[in-house]
Amino acid sequence: SREEVLEAHRLAGDIDYILKVRVRNAKAYDEFYQALISEVKIFNVTALLSMEEIKSTQRLSV
């Protein structure tokens, strides 16, 4: 369990897992990435970086 990981999901489809991580900058991401691939056998990694948070909520209309 790494503190940078905010969420982890197992997916259906071509991609098996998605991690939502929060790091300070690109250097911190690279350190996280290097540590992750040394701990877990991973064949392919795709990184997507959020440029701006447009909306974030946990609330559901009932």
pLDDT tens, per residue, the chain with 62 residues: 799 999 999 999 999 999 999 999 999 999 999 999 999 888 888 999 999 999 999 898 88
**Among the listed residues 1, 50, 43, the one whose alpha carbon sits nearest the alpha carbon of residue 23:** 50
User: What's residue 43's pLDDT?
Assistant: 85
Distance CA 59, CA 55 (A): 12
User: What's residue 61's pLDDT?
Assistant: 87
pTM of the predicted model as reported, rounded to 2 decimal places: 0.76
Helix (H, G, I), strand (E, B), or coil: what is residue 32?
helix
